[in-house]
């Protein structure tokens, strides 16, 4: 019976994949973009915006946790040139990085730690949080920057990411989201450098799209709520609350941009929460990371099927959950 169930599950998954990976555009003047899309997805958003002559882009996504995810090889740069060094003398200081990996063992993320322009040491991380610390001798007034270089993004098992929670210099703490932190993707040349001063997926996506050439006045970030569960629902609820309160732009219809098999669930949630407020379409971008010819892809698709069933038959029908609630969303940002 188990073999029969397993044998029947694969063709069912292929049917579900075609159902969940849905594109159905409507006549709309606004693109709504899920802010967690990676760079390649946002590049397709840019092209969609140009080709179909949209007036606005709304980026959505919940408030980020207190750590940053490096999803591509590159350098996380902490500019420390403005440190208060009054009364400082040459001494041994301790520089620490709290970080962890999305994968474990030999597939774990690796990073190099640079101080100013000097490579100090490399570390293979773990899946559990850990602070990696080095001693550095000198005067803090000579400390210009600390860089965390993520250098092994891809692996045989799948996409490998590095998470950075904080940088410490002695007893001074620096989080990843501030005006002093940049992410230079791939090469240390400034060509693909992003500022990390946005504390939500919505804000991060807005910054990336502006760097791709979309005029800032055309993009509004609508951050969602800080949550670890039902993230899509919370993000859509924040968008609905913002849309009903805003009078800055006129929205005649929206096309939502999502990724692969996640798209149907996003589309369903928008249509349920917005009801008949305006036309709602969906654009499913190709998902290059989760293919049916890998165990990882089968597991991911099974999870998306389960999530859709949960949203469709349990979460969204609950009347108490779709009542308007302002919650704790961050204010929208179009500056």
Q: How far is CA 144 from CA 70, 77, 84, 118, 334, in A?
A: 22, 10, 12, 11, 32
Spatial CA neighbour of 274 closest among 322, 229, 232: 322
pLDDT at 33: 98
Check whether 8 has a pLDDT greater than 70. Answer: no
Top-confidence range, 61-75, 84-98, 150-164, 310-324: 61-75
Alpha carbon 333 to its chain's center: 17
Mean pLDDT (the chain, rounded): 88
DSSP of 189-215:
TSTTEEE----BHHHHHHHHHHHTT--
Q: Is residue 148 within a helix (H) or strand (E), and if so which, with residue range?
A: strand 145-150
pLDDT per position as a tens digit, 197-217: 778 999 989 988 998 999 999
Residue with tokens 């400034």: 190
Cross-strand pairs, 104: none
Q: What is the pTM of this model?
A: 0.76
Spatial CA neighbour of 263 closest among 9, 28, 15, 33: 33
Alpha helices in the chain (DSSP H): 2-20, 39-51, 201-211, 231-245, 263-274, 295-310
Check whether 327 has a pLDDT greater than 60. Answer: no
Q: Which domains does the chain have, with CATH numbers?
A: 10-64+199-322 (3.40.50.620), 68-195 (2.60.60)
pLDDT at 319: 56
């Amino acid at each position: 019976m188990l073999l029969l169930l397993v044998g029947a599950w694969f063709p069912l998954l292929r049917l579900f994949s075609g159902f969940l990976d849905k594109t159905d555009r409507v006549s709309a003047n606004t693109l709504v973009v899920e802010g967690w899309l990676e760079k390649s997805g946002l590049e397709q958003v840019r092209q969609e915006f140009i080709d179909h002559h949209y007036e606005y882009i709304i980026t959505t996504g919940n408030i980020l946790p207190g750590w940053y995810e490096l999803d591509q090889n590159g350098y996380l740069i902490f500019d420390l040139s403005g440190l208060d060094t009054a009364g400082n003398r040459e001494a041994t200081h301790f520089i620490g990085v709290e970080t962890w990996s999305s994968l474990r063992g030999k597939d774990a993320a690796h990073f190099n730690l640079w101080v100013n322009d000097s490579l100090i040491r490399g570390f293979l991380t773990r899946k559990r949080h850990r602070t990696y610390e080095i001693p550095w001798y000198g005067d803090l007034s000579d400390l210009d920057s600390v860089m965390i270089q993520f250098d092994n993004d891809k692996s045989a098992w799948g996409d490998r990411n590095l998470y950075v929670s904080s940088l410490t210099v002695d007893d001074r703490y620096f989080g990843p989201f501030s005006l002093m932190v940049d992410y230079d993707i791939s090469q240390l040349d400034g060509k693909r450098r992003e500022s990390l001063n946005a504390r939500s997926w919505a804000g991060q996506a807005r910054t990336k799209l502006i760097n791709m050439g979309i005029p800032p006045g055309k993009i509004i970030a609508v951050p969602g709520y800080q949550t670890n569960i039902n993230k899509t629902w919370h993000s859509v609820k924040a968008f609905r609350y913002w849309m009903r309160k805003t009078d800055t732009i006129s929205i005649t219809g929206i096309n939502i941009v999502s990724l692969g098999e996640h798209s149907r669930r996003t589309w369903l949630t928008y249509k349920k929460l917005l009801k008949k407020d305006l036309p709602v379409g969906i654009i499913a971008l190709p998902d290059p990371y989760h293919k049916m010819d890998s165990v990882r892809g089968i597991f991911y698709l099974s999870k998306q099927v389960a999530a859709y069933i949960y949203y469709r038959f349990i979460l969204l029908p609950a009347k108490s959950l779709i009542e308007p609630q302002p919650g704790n969303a961050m204010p929208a940002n179009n500056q």
